Homo-oligomer: A and B are copies of this chain.
Amino acid sequence: MAKHRGKQSMEFERSIAIVSASATVGTKEGEGPLREYFDVILTDNLCGQESWEKAESKIASDNLKLCINKAGLKPEDISYVVTGDLLNQCCGSTFGVRSLKIPFFGVFGACSTMGEAMGLSSVLIESGGAKYVLCGASSHFASAEKQFRFPMDLGTQRTPTATWTVTGDGAVLLAEKDEGPYIRRITTGKIMDMGITDANNMGAAMAPAAADAIYQHLSDFNFKPDHYDVIATGDLGYVGRELLIELLKNKGIDISKNHIDCGIEIFDRELQDTHSGGSGCACSAVTFSGMLYNKLRHKKIDRLLFVPTGALMSPTSVQQGESIAGIAHCVGIEN
């Protein structure tokens, strides 16, 4: 039985193990610093499909199947699949999950989706009513640019605070097992809105949500920041990371030594011209399923606080002058 802890956290009693993980990425991500950790690096970002959207679904579909295969299982062994993405009406997931024929919970948390999916999937296992739960998140640079910013063909110049949407899908499979790493606890974020309206500065919009979720997590469990070897946020990028560290310092918490950001890790800023860093649902999802899971398995990290971050907005909401709300979900993972 899970325990409600503090103001907004939950601690699990079962040993909710991450049984397998898989990460598929696009060509650019495959040229970046994390390339050795990815299962599949695409040579064709269209995956032989007719559109970027269909390519994203194909990536999601293939990567989810890979995650099941890596655990030596079949789709019919899986109780639930919990996934999400950035496309309108979450079509990346819909058409990615369709062929699996697994009971499906679609989730939307913008780029925090992987954190939300891992949290809800853990709760499904903890409830006792599910054996294996597959969760994941996807994004595609080209489908996101087209939908949120400008058609690629325009060659529009990017602002220095802009981030680069990661192409890929990250997935993990959860089950109650006696071999870790285990998801021990979660802190589910509240929506935080500091009135940011610049859709090219998502880092600033998400940093307050990340700061709030991390602060709440540490306080709900009475942890010092060094309880975790690594605190990995989703896609704050260089601009958002500075803000996060500053915001937490103002509350007397210093995470500057053990904090990393998946958006900073995934690209080489100088060589890859990605400005403030990587973003998109897949940014934290593939960095976790690739590098972080590998380091947990090989005991290079023993305690990880994984904090995917999301900017909640749509082109319509931005055009209507609505500010960009942020959210972040903490997932505490330990060996």
Q: Which A positions have Cβ atoms within 8 angstroms of B? A: 1-4, 8, 10-13, 50-51, 53-54, 79-80, 84, 86-91, 94-95, 97-98, 101-110, 116, 119-120, 123-124, 126-131, 147, 187-191, 193, 312-317, 320, 322, 325, 327
Contacts and interface: CB of A to CB of B under 8 A. Distances in A.
Given A1-B128, A3-B129, A123-B127, 12 more contacts: A80-B188, A87-B314, A87-B316, A89-B108, A89-B314, A91-B313, A95-B325, A106-B108, A107-B107, A107-B108, A108-B108, A126-B129
* Of listed A54, A104, A124, A130, residue having the most chain B CB within 10 A: A104
Nearest to A321: B50
Contacts of A87: 314, 316
A105 B95 CA distance: 22
A88 B4 contact: no
Contacts of A320: 50-51, 53-54
B95 A4 contact: no
A55 to B, nearest CB: 11
B317 A91 contact: yes
Contact of A4 (B12, B94, B131): B131
Contacts of A325: 94-95, 98
A88 B127 contact: no
A90 to B, nearest CB: 5
A206 to B, nearest CB: 13
A12 B130 CA distance: 12
Contacts of A313: 89, 91, 94
Nearest to A315: B88
Given A2-B127, A124-B123, A130-B4, A109 B106 contact: yes
Given A3-B129, A127-B127, A322-B95, A105 B188 contact: yes
Contact of A129 (B98, B110, B123, B131): B123
A190 B79 CA distance: 11
Contacts of A11: 129
Contact of A101 (B86, B190, B312, B322): B190
25 contacts: A53-B320, A86-B89, A87-B316, A88-B316, A89-B108, A89-B110, A89-B312, A89-B314, A91-B316, A91-B322, A94-B313, A95-B322, A98-B325, A101-B191, A103-B187, A103-B188, A104-B190, A105-B119, A105-B120, A105-B188, A106-B108, A106-B116, A120-B123, A123-B124, A127-B127
A128 B125 CA distance: 12
Contact of A190 (B102, B116, B120): B102
